[in-house]
Amino acid sequence: MQTPSIVLYNSLAPGALENTVLYAKMAEERGFRSVLVSESGSDALALAQHLASVTSRIQVGTCITNIYLRPPLLAALHAMTIDRFAPGRLVLGLGTSSEALNKVYGITMEKPAAALRTYLLQLTSAFRGEHETLSQMKAMGMTVPQAAHKILLYPGTASRLCLEVAGEFADGCFTSQCAPHGLQEIMAPLARGAQRVGRSLADFPIAPLVHCCVCDDREAALRAVRRTLAAYGSRPLYNRFLARQGFVKEAEQIAAAAAKGDMTSAALAVSENMAEQVAAMGTVQACRKKV
């Protein structure tokens, strides 16, 4: 069994960042592989940099940072800055986020797989010191940075086309809302991408994000998991992914309720079987066993 990592969903709400720092330190003390932070109403790379400064061994990183919010060169420079303070410990999780959130930012998502491909290529060229802008900086007499250590690139997505891009260019990938049998839906597009460039997926890490609700009251845990899965299932990308895994009825009912703004009914549409398959919930022992 691989050593688990922890993903912390954070915000700038009072006390939230302080809790994130506390949990990161606890994760390192307990031997977790990595501690990763989300980007929703906060800056994931800035927070990852701070976590690197208050830890010494554990991998730190993002899960995920939105590629539309930063030019790839800026993201590369920030990643290399973190790597200087935490040599070889950075995992750069990135993705296209969701249509709903990007709309809030005033961003139009056009051809997200193509955007992800371009972003990954520009990141890797910047890490090698070969980005076109860096070449221009060098011609001006400026010092051109280069990554001193391997910076892992992990796209996070359930999109088939984006998964193909990950299979071509990435070091691993995150996936979310995935039942164990649903990993088959991840492997096929990854394999197609890998085959295009002659890669093998034998050593390609797939990191499923498993929502955990540790609570001795199983019914309370189930209610919490249903709310979370309904929130994800209301997004078209994840709704389609849940349907591809066989949760067709649940996906249809979640979408119908969400379209009416009725998230209570959307949560109730999450069947107990779906909750049990996709998430970990209940006692400490039950959650550990599921993970």
**Dihedral (Cα; 199, 203, 209, 214), 10-degree rounding:** 170
Residue of 167, 143, 141 whose CA lies nearest to 153: 167
Query: Is the model's pTM score more than 0.85?
Result: yes
pLDDT of residue 97: 84
pLDDT of residue 74: 94
Q: Residue 215: CB partners within 8 Å, gap ≥ 6?
A: 221, 224, 281, 282, 283
pLDDT of residue 131: 82
Question: In the predicted model, what is the mean pLDDT of residues 28-39?
Answer: 95
Res 168 pLDDT > 90: yes
pLDDT of residue 46: 95
Q: Could you report the per-residue pLDDT of 268-285, keeping only the tens digit for each?
A: 999 999 999 999 999 999
More confident residue, 138 or 39: 39
Average pLDDT, the chain: 92
Residue of 10, 14, 15 whose CA lies nearest to 48: 10
Q: Could you report the per-residue pLDDT of 90-115, keeping only the tens digit for each?
A: 999 999 987 778 788 888 888 999 99
Alpha carbon distance 239, 252 (integer Å):
8
Question: In the predicted model, what is the mean pLDDT of residues 163-188?
Answer: 93
Tokens of 66: 């939105």
Res 137 pLDDT > 90: no
More confident residue, 68 or 143: 68
Largest CA distance in the chain: 64
Provide the β-strand partners of residue 7.
36
pLDDT above 90 covers a percentage of the chain that reads: 79
Alpha carbon distance 230, 250 (integer Å):
9
Q: Could you report the per-residue pLDDT of 41-55, keeping only the tens digit for each?
A: 789 999 999 999 999
pLDDT of residue 41: 79
Over 71-115, what HEC string results? CHHHHHHHHHHHHHHCCCCEEEEEECCCHHHHHHCCCCCCCHHHH
Alpha carbon distance 45, 75 (integer Å):
8
- Categorize the per-residue pLDDT at 134 as very low, low, confident or very high, splitting at 50, 70 and 90: confident
Lowest mean pLDDT among 112-121, 139-148, 206-215: 139-148
- Categorize the per-residue pLDDT at 198 as very low, low, confident or very high, splitting at 50, 70 and 90: very high
pLDDT above 70 covers a percentage of the chain that reads: 99
* Residue given tokens 């078209």 in the structure block: 236
Q: Residue 167: CB partners within 8 Å, gap ≥ 6?
A: 189, 190, 191, 192, 193, 194, 195, 196, 199, 201, 204
Residue of 193, 225, 186, 226 whose CA lies nearest to 207: 186
pLDDT of residue 104: 81
Res 1 pLDDT > 70: no
pLDDT of residue 141: 79
Write the single-letter amino acid at 104. V
Residue of 26, 29, 34, 56 whose CA lies nearest to 152: 34
